[in-house]
A and B are shown apart, each in its own frame.
Chain A
Amino acid sequence: DQQVKQNSPSLSVQEGRISILNCDYTNSMFDYFLWYKKYPAEGPTFLISISSIKDKNEDGRFTVFLNKSAKHLSLHIVPSQPGDSAVYFCAASEAGNQFYFGTGTSLTVIP
């Protein structure tokens, strides 16, 4: 059973606008969450993380929000750039052991 879900397989956004990627999880014991970006034929690269003691973490154009009561996290990219076009995976873990990944959302930023 999928413990981490990304229900939107794809998203298209105009350059300069905000991209919002969503992720839901089922295990309330998860306490560490990460977002990865993946280009074709490459391994995923780390983007941003958040621990359950926070509800927001910001790094430049990227902000991750965590809503523990809803078991939901989101990644905001603003302003979106064409180079942001990639597949984005969210991942969750309990104490940094086994990580569960979502199925990914393919983001296309239209120039």
Chain B
Amino acid sequence: GAGVSQSPSNKVTEKGKDVELRCDPISGHTALYWYRQSLGQGLEFLIYFQGNSAPDKSGLPSDRFSAERTGGSVSTLTIQRTQQEDSAVYLCASSARTGVSYEQYFGPGTRLTVT
């Protein structure tokens, strides 16, 4: 079956430009997470959507970052006025959150390079 997909797989942008990263979660998964992994670092939590609840935005590093999830499915992470320190792999994950299982399924990531 289809897993989590992300697009684009690679994005090179100039400093100061806006970028949009897309995530298509597994159908029926109610939870969606965005993370980023900078070079040599672990996964850094950015934002979490669960059903119709207000998203947990506590991990967003600045107000240049925002995300939305339309219709409880596709999500878009937007970074405005990109900076070089935004360069990282951005990973999306979804989860069915059934019972006590919180297993997350990850997409392949979007590698963002800000020049």
Which residues of A are in contact with B by a Cβ distance under 8 Å?
4, 6, 32, 34, 36, 41-46, 49, 51, 89, 91, 93, 96-104
**Chain B interface residues (CB < 8 Å from chain A):** 4, 31, 33, 35, 41-45, 48, 50, 56, 58-59, 91, 93, 95, 97, 100-109
Contact of B106 among A41, A43, A49, A103 (CB under 8 A): A43
Q: Given the known A-B contacts A89-B43, A98-B58, A101-B42, are A45 and B106 also in contact in the complex, defined by CB atoms under 8 Å? A: yes
A100 and B103 contact, Cβ closer than 8 Å, known pairs A43-B4, A43-B108, A44-B91: no
**19 A–B contacts, CB within 8 A, in A order:** A34-B102, A34-B104, A42-B108, A43-B4, A43-B107, A43-B108, A44-B91, A44-B106, A46-B103, A46-B104, A51-B100, A96-B97, A98-B48, A99-B33, A99-B45, A99-B102, A101-B35, A101-B45, A102-B42
Given A98-B58, A99-B45, CB of A32 within 8 Å of CB of B102: yes
Among B42, B45, B58, B95, residue most surrounded by chain A Cβ atoms (within 10 Å): B42
7 residue pairs, one from A and one from B, having the closest CB atoms = A43-B106, A96-B102, A103-B42, A101-B43, A101-B42, A44-B106, A46-B103
